[in-house]
Amino acid sequence: MTAGSEDPASRVPLLTPPTSPGAPRARNLERTLAWLVCIGGAPGVVIALIYMWREAPPPEVRWTLVLVIVGTWLLAIAAASQIATRSLQVIASLLGALREGDYTMRGLRSGDSAMGMVMREVNDFGTVLKRQRSEAIESTALLTHVMEEIAVAVFAFDPAGQLLLVNKGGESLLGKPQAELVGLPASALEFDEYLAGEPRRLVERAFGGRHGRYEVRRAIFYRDGHPHQLVVVTDLSQALREEEQAAWQRIVRVLSHEVNNSLTPIKSIAHSLKKIVDQAPDLPRQGEMQHGLSLIEERSGALGRFLRAYAQLARLPKPRPRRVRIVDLVQRVVELEKRLPVTVGSTPDIRLDADSDQIEQLLINIVRNAVDAALETGGAVSMSWKTAGGWLELNIDDEGKGLPDTSNLFVPFFTTKPSGSGIGLALSRQIAEAHGGTITLENRTSPAGCRATLRLPLPLAG
Average of pLDDT values for 70-81? 81
Q: Does the structure show a pLDDT above 70 at 374?
A: yes
- Region of residue 156 (left: phi > 0; alpha: psi -120 to 50; beta: else): beta
Mean pLDDT comparison of 11-25, 99-113, 422-436, 445-459, highest-scoring range: 445-459
From 206-210, 393-397, 410-414, the region with the lowest mean pLDDT? 410-414
Q: Does the structure show a pLDDT above 80 at 137?
A: yes
- Render pLDDT for 49-75 as a digit per residue (tens, 0 to 9): 777 777 767 777 777 877 887 888 788
Report percent pLDDT > 90 for the chain.
12
Better-predicted residue by pLDDT, 53 or 190? 190
From 102-116, 318-332, 369-383, the region with the lowest mean pLDDT? 102-116
Q: Does the structure show a pLDDT above 70 at 412?
A: no
Q: Does the structure show a pLDDT above 60 at 187?
A: yes
Give me the amino acid identity at 57: P
Cβ–Cβ under 8 Å, residues 14 and 89:
yes
Q: Does the structure show a pLDDT above 50 at 21?
A: no
Average of pLDDT values for 252-273? 74
Q: Give, for 221, the enclosing helix (H) or strand (E).
A: strand 210-223
Half-sphere exposure of 61 (CA within 13 A, CB side): 6
Give the separation between CA 199 and CA 196, rounded to whole angstroms. 7
Cβ–Cβ under 8 Å, residues 381 and 388:
no
- The pLDDT-based confidence of 354 (bands split at 50, 70, 90) is very high
Better-predicted residue by pLDDT, 15 or 55? 55
Task: Compute how many other C-beta atoms are within 10 angstroms of the C-beta atom of residue 365.
Answer: 21
Give the separation between CA 45 and CA 65, rounded to whole angstroms. 11
Whole-number mean pLDDT of the chain?
78
Report percent pLDDT > 70 for the chain.
81
Residue 371's pLDDT is 92
Please give the full DSSP string across 152-209, using - where no structure is assigned.
SEEEEE-TTSBEEEE-HHHHHHHTS-HHHHTT-BTTTTT-GGGGSS-SEEEEEEEETT
Half-sphere exposure of 124 (CA within 13 A, CB side): 7
- Render pLDDT for 140-178 as a digit per residue (tens, 0 to 9): 788 778 777 787 889 999 999 999 888 888 888 888 888
Residue 396's pLDDT is 94
